[in-house]
Amino acid sequence: MGLAVAQLCVDSHDPSSLARWWADVLGWRVVEEDDDEVDLEPPPGVSASPWLFLRVPDAKRVKNRLHVDVRPPDGSDQATELERLLALGAVRVDIGQGPDATWHVLADPEGNEFCLLRSTPSELAALLAAEAGGSAEAPAP
């Protein structure tokens, strides 16, 4: 049996600000906070590990070695979520993904890269079901 992920830790210059930004992005809630650490928790029924934002003295300098991929929720779409993320303060980042990429590479207010994928959870489930059944009429991921 493999290990269980307890939480995702995010180094941050300003943990409170960055954690609150991600809480707005994800629809999660801050559950505990002090000057050096902020815990984010997903809402009930969402299967995800909590995130812990930790204060570090240095700023981010290079491309992340680990990043988050997010999907539009059911009932939304990539264009709507891209507009929302940009309005919240995300910025577009070019890491060499090329013009034909079906995802958008963005950075949070502290420069941490993340990707906004195209398909919603339901669209992805339909694609996987179609692939398992051999159908050629599945939506793209």
User: Once rounded to an integer, what is the mean pLDDT over residues 31-44?
Assistant: 96
pLDDT in tens, 42-91: 999 999 999 999 999 988 888 888 999 999 999 999 999 999 999 999 99
Rounded distance between C-alpha atoms, residue 8 and residue 80, angstroms: 26
The pLDDT of residue 139 is above 80? no
Tell me the average pLDDT of the chain. Answer: 92
Long-range contacts of 5-9 (CB under 8 A, 24+ apart): 5/49, 6/49, 7/39, 7/49, 7/50, 7/51, 7/52, 8/49, 8/50, 8/51, 8/52, 8/68, 9/51, 9/52, 9/53, 9/54
Using a pLDDT cut of 90, give the percent of the chain over it.
76
